[in-house]
Amino acid sequence: MVKSLLVTLFAVGAITSSIVIGKNLIEEAPLAGLPKQQQQKDPENIKELLTNKGYGFLDVEGKQDDEKWTNLINKYISLKDENKIKKIKDLEFKSKGNSFNNEDIQTFKTKCQELLRTQITKGNEFELSKQNTIDWCTDKTSRPINVS
C-alpha cells in the first residue's frame, strides 16, 4: 500500500514537473517548435500579405520587367468596364494608342508601389486594392490576362 502511494506521488510529481518545464519553455520560445510559415508576424500591408501567400512581384524599381509593364499597359487600356478584372482607381496614362513611353511605365510602377504599401484593413476598398495588386502587380500578371 505504501509502495503504491509512493509510486502515485512520484508520478504526480513527474507530471507536475513536466508541465512547469513545458510551460516555461513555451513562454521563453513560443515560436521555436512551429513551422516557419506559422512563425511569421502578421502582415502589415498588401505586399507582406501576398508574399506570405506565395506571390512574387514585378520589378517596380528597375527596368527588368519593362516589357511586361508595356504589355500590361496595353491590356489595361483595352479593358472594358464590364470585365471581371477591374482597373486601378486613378490610374491614367499620358500616351494614347499603342505607343507608351517610359513615363507611362513609371506611372504604372508607382501605382503598384502604392498598392503594395496599402495597410491591411477591412472593407471593400482594401479588398479591391488587394485584387488590383494581384491582377496588375504580381508576377502572375506576366501571364496572359483575359480581358474580354
Give pLDDT, residue 41: 84
Q: What is the pLDDT of residues 42-58, one digit of tens each?
A: 999 999 999 999 999 99
Residue 143 carries which side chain, given as an amino acid letter? Answer: R
H-type helices in 29-142, by residue range? Answer: 36-39, 46-52, 66-78, 102-116, 124-137
Q: Distance (Å, rounded) from C-alpha 21 to C-alpha 23?
A: 5
> Over 50: is that where the pLDDT of 29 sits?
no
Give the residue extent of every domain in the chain. Answer: 2-35, 40-142
Give pLDDT, residue 144: 45
Question: Using an 8 Å Cβ cutoff, are 43 and 120 in contact?
Answer: yes
Q: What is the pLDDT of residues 91-119, one digit of tens each?
A: 988 877 667 788 999 999 999 999 999 99
Higher pLDDT, 98 or 143: 98
**Most confident option among 4-8, 30-34, 77-81, 105-109:** 105-109
For residues 5, 8, 12 and 17, what is the CA-based torsion angle, rounded to 10 degrees?
90
